[in-house]
A and B are shown apart, each in its own frame.
Chain A
């Protein structure tokens, strides 16, 4: 196969953002090589968002690290904090009471709903369905409001403490939360139907970026991408941490394995999560104060190590924390799901058109920033021109107009 065109996709760097598409995610660079319209190879470069967090955690105390690991990812900050805090609880052998465990699940499930709604909105936007993007974002505000009522802040709330949570809910807050859940659930069901029936969406998503079950296992995918390929992997059901052993839920799987299946798995999970949040609220145990006294928390951590996993909205997230008896951890190792899902799937793009590239990329729910510009290089003339990925998403090379070229 002769390569007639090289297309570089600097998904972050030269030019940052697109129309209605602020840099949502951490920056990454995809370099795609295309033969005509067909993608023949994709190279993935990372490291633009390297903040040295693992080293930073070794410089700070165990308790201060809770705030640092929550800022690994702002979208899934609660699961990061939960994973780390549970590792500390394993080290200290100090566990939260039932009410705190239920509240943790409630907060994490609300976070999952808002994360899944966000990535589905971004998918609608990448396809070119801007009004759907705006509508999903409007209804996502209800979830953000619910998160604010529960945790005190919209995004980063630092809700988790060793041995409990930072705020309790009273009956007034409980009613408000239930009302908000009742409001958002029919909307999520409606959007699920839109994704099931709308021709615009189906034409761009069905049969694109297919990953078979064997491939999903071989590439060790996690989270919704794996479940969309029929792999029943969910840490919530296998590990049963916090209150997941008491709250009923289904692990959503699909067999298709394409982009559409991945988005549908997210909608189904959002509905499951809302039902779980309602169950957690209605069956909230009252076995004491879920808020531990911060002044009485142990200052010394015994030597030892802990390894915990949680199901983040993007898949399995693991933390390894090692203590050598000093006030600071000896080592903290973080394994995030996005990294696995993005790095291992470079081969999936091959064979699809350049226009499918952003659609497949968004379907992994990447933590990627600024997916906006590609450089088209013609090797025969050496001519380079840059076009926004948005243009490519709008309909392939036909739409790549000189107007946007640099």
Chain B
């Protein structure tokens, strides 16, 4: 504490900076809100993500909650082989998310296109459109695996500074 007003002003501004860089990002890990987007999935992963947010698996013990809109979301869950038509929407959606933002690719299709990787209308892989922080393999992954992916991402967020994102 200092009585000098000029010093105090400097200190608060520097404090704000520290919060913005460190704790401001990692505070997300206490209660991340997830948003789910289907980029051309077969619904297999979608119903497992849906099952993962029901009381049987109880994601709220990790503070995980489904956000009502992409603008409230912290973590974007992508399912499905990214079709060319859905890729534009995925890009736009990612840009609408407030920073800091993280992306989880759920299922074989979102990781590499899965069985659809040869198709003419599929980009194969969510990481070709947006940066992906965590991959959850499986066709479809179990709800437990999806929750584990989220928890691992939260640990990762707590451990290090997030990559700079616009």
Q: Is B151 an interface residue when CB atoms closer than 8 A count as contact? A: no
Contact A72 B46 (CB under 8 A): no
- CB-CB under 8 A from B53, the residues of chain A are 20, 22
Chain B nearest CB: distance from A49 CB in Å? 5
Chain A residues touching B, range: 35 or more
Chain A nearest CB: distance from B60 CB in Å? 11
Q: Is B162 an interface residue when CB atoms closer than 8 A count as contact? A: no
CA–CA, A324 and B139, complex, Å: 32
Contact B48 A154 (CB under 8 A): yes
Contact A56 B70 (CB under 8 A): no
Of the candidate stretches B11-19, B22-30, B119-127, the one touching chain A is B119-127
- CB-CB under 8 A from B92, the residues of chain A are 14
From residue 12 to 54 of chain A, which have CB atoms closer than 8 A to chain B? 12-27, 47-53
Q: Is A280 an interface residue when CB atoms closer than 8 A count as contact? A: no
Q: Is B36 an interface residue when CB atoms closer than 8 A count as contact? A: yes
Of the candidate stretches A137-145, A188-196, A376-384, the one touching chain B is A137-145
CA–CA, A240 and B70, complex, Å: 47
Q: Is B35 an interface residue when CB atoms closer than 8 A count as contact? A: yes
Main DSSP-derived SS at the A contact region: loop
Contact A50 B140 (CB under 8 A): no
Which residue in chain A gives the minimum CB-CB distance to B142? A154
Contact of B37 among A16, A77, A118 (CB under 8 A): A16
Contact code string B44-58 (vs A, CB < 8 Å = 1, else 0): 111111110111100
Chain B residues touching A, range: 35 or more
- A134-B54, A369-B38 given; A388·B46 CB < 8 A: no
From residue 56 to 82 of chain A, which have CB atoms closer than 8 A to chain B? 56, 59, 67-68, 71-75, 77
Contact B83 A155 (CB under 8 A): no
Contact A25 B37 (CB under 8 A): no
Contact of A56 among B47, B96, B116 (CB under 8 A): B116
- A17-B66, A22-B66, A48-B86 given; A53·B119 CB < 8 A: yes
Contact A73 B66 (CB under 8 A): no
From residue 63 to 117 of chain A, which have CB atoms closer than 8 A to chain B? 67-68, 71-75, 77
- A137-B54, A138-B55 given; A26·B37 CB < 8 A: no
Contact B36 A16 (CB under 8 A): yes
Contact B121 A51 (CB under 8 A): yes
- CB-CB under 8 A from A5, the residues of chain B are none
Q: Is B152 an interface residue when CB atoms closer than 8 A count as contact? A: no
Q: Is A262 an interface residue when CB atoms closer than 8 A count as contact? A: no
Q: Is A346 an interface residue when CB atoms closer than 8 A count as contact? A: no
CA–CA, A71 and B46, complex, Å: 12
